[in-house]
Amino acid sequence: MKRELPLADVYTVLEPGPVVLLSTSRQGVANVMTMSWHVMMEFEPPLVGCVVSETSHSFAALEETGECVLNVPTVELADKVVSCGNASGRTVDKFKAFGLTAKPAAKVAAPLVGECYANLECQVRDRQMVTPYNFFVLEVVKAWHDPAVTRPETLHHRGYGRFMVAGREIVLPSAMR
Amino acid sequence: MKRELPLADVYTVLEPGPVVLLSTSRQGVANVMTMSWHVMMEFEPPLVGCVVSETSHSFAALEETGECVLNVPTVELADKVVSCGNASGRTVDKFKAFGLTAKPAAKVAAPLVGECYANLECQVRDRQMVTPYNFFVLEVVKAWHDPAVTRPETLHHRGYGRFMVAGREIVLPSAMR
């Protein structure tokens, strides 16, 4: 069902600002966290900056393995997205507890979250701002999407449990990429 | 009409990933550009990372003055947002050409864009990643919003002139800030 997404199009997935699920694998144990603090930094090869709290279990995995997957959920997964944000991988197997499917990635050990419409396999490229900002620069090395989902109903965090769901689309005569 | 927005709430404005207008003032000349590559990096004081192309006129202003305003437009301003993205401040007075109102800010020389529902006055705090990523870390030092706009119909760029307009809101029992 999923097809490869050209790396040059990765920005179209992340630029609208969706909540993502960041998945990792450390010593064979998969984990997943909810994240909204990410930014495109280059078109191709696609670079993505993200802030991962140093208090999170995922931070340690990302630091140690240098790999993760950014998975983009749509509104059907809202309850699971919030559950992943409210629990810690230290004490909970979130894939099992919240009914998420870990699928093998092509280029990284971290799993794809099968239920998400897009999955971006990433390797850490630059750690110079991990201190003091917990800011990692990731390179997307392989990307997948469900081509049937052309207007994904992504979630956009407004704070304290409020989420905006992606609405209608407009097309304007932009010369911008 | 605009009221001060507590600095601790700035993230609720930028976290959903809206297209913003970045305004600057250099040698008394105001300019404004369209930008989507931004990220929250800290709650309070609010830090925002953003990528500003080194080829843009705004890059030079931001480098030189260390100040800007991030203005958040809603869908009524879509045409002006695209126009600002398609023109350069080198050759066009965009405020005049596109009918935008430059209003004085409280703490920076860069102007507020009056038509935008939220305005974040920023100072550059960290330039260590300007090379090679054109990535600036900004601190929001004063913030304004129109309190009547509680569910802003923000624009979210999907590439090549496609914009998603913010849709409905859902509230979930999140323990996340």
Shortest alpha-carbon distance between residue A154 and chain B (Å): 10
Query: Is the pLDDT at A176 greater than 80, yes or no?
Result: no
- The answer to whether B170 contacts A165, with C-beta atoms less than 8 Å apart, is yes
Of B56, B16, B13, B15, nearest to B34 by C-alpha is B56
Give the pLDDT mean for A150-171. 96
Q: Which of B16, B160, B167 sits opposite A177 (nearest CB)?
A: B160
- The answer to whether A133 contacts B41, with C-beta atoms less than 8 Å apart, is yes
pLDDT band at A173 (very low <50, low <70, confident <90, very high): confident
pLDDT band at A97 (very low <50, low <70, confident <90, very high): very high
pLDDT per position as a tens digit, B23-32: 999 999 999 9
Query: Is the pLDDT at A105 greater than 80, yes or no?
Result: yes
pLDDT band at B36 (very low <50, low <70, confident <90, very high): very high
pLDDT per position as a tens digit, B115-161: 999 999 999 999 999 999 999 999 999 999 999 999 999 999 999 89
Question: Which residues have CB under 8 Å from A58's CB, separation 6+?
Answer: A22, A24, A31, A32, A33, A52, A68, A89
- Cβ atoms of A97 and A79 within 8 Å: the answer is no
Name the 3-class secondary structure at B81: helix
Identify the bridge partners of residue A30 per DSSP, sorted by sequence position.
A25
ipTM above 0.90, yes or no: yes
pLDDT band at A174 (very low <50, low <70, confident <90, very high): confident
Mean model confidence pLDDT for chain A: 96
CA-based nearest residue in chain A for residue B160: A177
Instruction: Please report, for residues A169, B6, B92, B107, B143, the alpha-carbon distance to residue B11 in angstroms, rounded to integers and kept in the order given.
Output: 24, 10, 32, 19, 11
Instruction: Please report, for residues B20, B106, B143, the alpha-carbon distance to residue B7 in angstroms, rounded to integers and kept in the order given.
Output: 18, 14, 7
Q: What is the residue type of A154?
A: T
Mean model confidence pLDDT for chain B: 96
Distance CA B112, CA A107 (A): 45
Confidence (pTM)? 0.97
Interface residue B58 vs chain A (CB under 8 A):
no
Of A48, A100, A56, nearest to B37 by C-alpha is A48
pLDDT per position as a tens digit, A21-79: 999 999 999 999 999 999 999 999 999 999 999 999 999 999 999 999 999 999 999 99
Query: Is the pLDDT at B177 greater than 80, yes or no?
Result: no
Confidence (pLDDT) at A175: 76
- The answer to whether B47 contacts A133, with C-beta atoms less than 8 Å apart, is yes
Give the pLDDT mean for A153-171. 96
pLDDT per position as a tens digit, B62-85: 999 999 999 999 999 999 999 999
Interface residue A16 vs chain B (CB under 8 A):
yes
- The answer to whether A164 contacts B161, with C-beta atoms less than 8 Å apart, is no
Find tokens 């409905």 and name the residue. Answer: B168
Confidence (pLDDT) at A1: 85
Share of chain B above pLDDT 90, in %: 94
Q: How far is CA A45 from the centre of its chain?
A: 17
- Both tokens of residue A144? 């997948």
pLDDT band at B174 (very low <50, low <70, confident <90, very high): confident
- The answer to whether B40 contacts A36, with C-beta atoms less than 8 Å apart, is yes
Interface residue B55 vs chain A (CB under 8 A):
no
- The answer to whether A167 contacts B166, with C-beta atoms less than 8 Å apart, is yes
- The answer to whether B165 contacts A164, with C-beta atoms less than 8 Å apart, is no
Distance CA B104, CA B39 (A): 25
Give the pLDDT mean for B1-16. 96
Q: Which of A78, A133, A168 sits opposite B170 (nearest CB)?
A: A78
Residues 131-160 of A with CB under 8 A from B: 133, 135, 137, 151, 153, 156-160
Interface residue A92 vs chain B (CB under 8 A):
no
Q: Which of A158, A161, A166 sits opposite B15 (nearest CB)?
A: A158
Distance CA A114, CA A71 (A): 9
